């Protein structure tokens, strides 16, 4: 008896691409860098999903090639779930006002993870170089500003870095 393995499906990434059919390689275009200050976390305690915390974003500024402005305190926070190993799952929602007066609502879902030693240093509030851990998010931006409507239609990713008393997000449009 001879068994013939099945052919890989045509959309298998290990299969050669059909001739004449090429998809564009994604590339990242910088949109802004947000440097935000953090308030005292509200610790809800251990739940079935992990330790729940709400970390207010209390101020900050953002700057990019096309938009600049300030973070609106009181309308910005990170709703975190911290797992037993120190990994933080973020539901980050913040509101920005551009220098032109337009308002942006930003929602990011992401993860911050690293070695147990690095996560323990972050938990103690130490200054840890962002290259020592991974902090990434998928990001959506909404606005009613007609001139910034392109933000409503974009796919964005962000890279984050935690600092004592603050956080930095660099947000990119996926082209």
Angle subtended at Cα 78 by Cα 28 and Cα 33, rounded to the nearest 5 degrees? 35
Domain ranges of the chain: 28-174
Burial of 25 (0-12, 13-18, 19+ CB in 10 A): exposed
| Residue 29: count of CB within 10 angstroms of its CB | 13
pLDDT tens digits for range 1-39: 666 667 766 666 666 656 678 999 999 999 999 999 999
CATH topology of domain 28-174: Porin (2.40.160)
pLDDT for the residue numbered 110: 96
pLDDT tens across 120-147, in order? Answer: 998 888 999 999 999 999 999 999 999 9
Element (H, E) at 132: none
pTM, rounded to two decimals: 0.84
Say what the pLDDT of residue 14 is. Answer: 64
Residue 123 to residue 164: CA distance in whole angstroms: 10
Q: Residue 12's pLDDT is what?
A: 64
Which of the four pLDDT bands, split at 50, 70 and 90, describes residue 164? confident
User: Which whole-number Å values give the CA distances from 88 to 17, 19, 151, in the listed order?
Assistant: 38, 43, 27
Encode pLDDT of 76-92 as tens digits.
Answer: 999 999 999 999 999 99
């Amino acid at each position: 008896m001879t068994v013939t393995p099945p052919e890989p499906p045509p959309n298998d990434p290990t299969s050669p691409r059909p001739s004449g059919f090429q998809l564009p390689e994604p590339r990242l275009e910088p949109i802004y860098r947000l440097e935000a200050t953090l308030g005292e976390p509200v610790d809800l305690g251990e739940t079935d999903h992990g330790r729940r915390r709400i970390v207010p974003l209390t101020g900050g500024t953002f700057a990019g090639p096309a938009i600049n402005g300030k973070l609106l305190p009181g309308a910005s926070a990170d709703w975190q779930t911290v797992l037993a190993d120190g990994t933080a799952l973020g539901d980050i929602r913040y509101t920005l006002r551009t220098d032109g007066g337009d308002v942006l609502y930003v929602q990011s879902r992401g993860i911050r993870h690293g070695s147990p030693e690095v996560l323990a240093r972050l938990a103690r509030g130490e200054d840890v170089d962002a290259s020592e851990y991974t902090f990434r998010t998928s990001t959506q931006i909404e606005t009613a500003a007609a001139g910034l409507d392109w933000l409503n239609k974009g796919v964005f990713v962000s890279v984050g870095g935690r600092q004592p008393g603050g956080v930095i997000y660099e947000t990119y449009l996926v082209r």
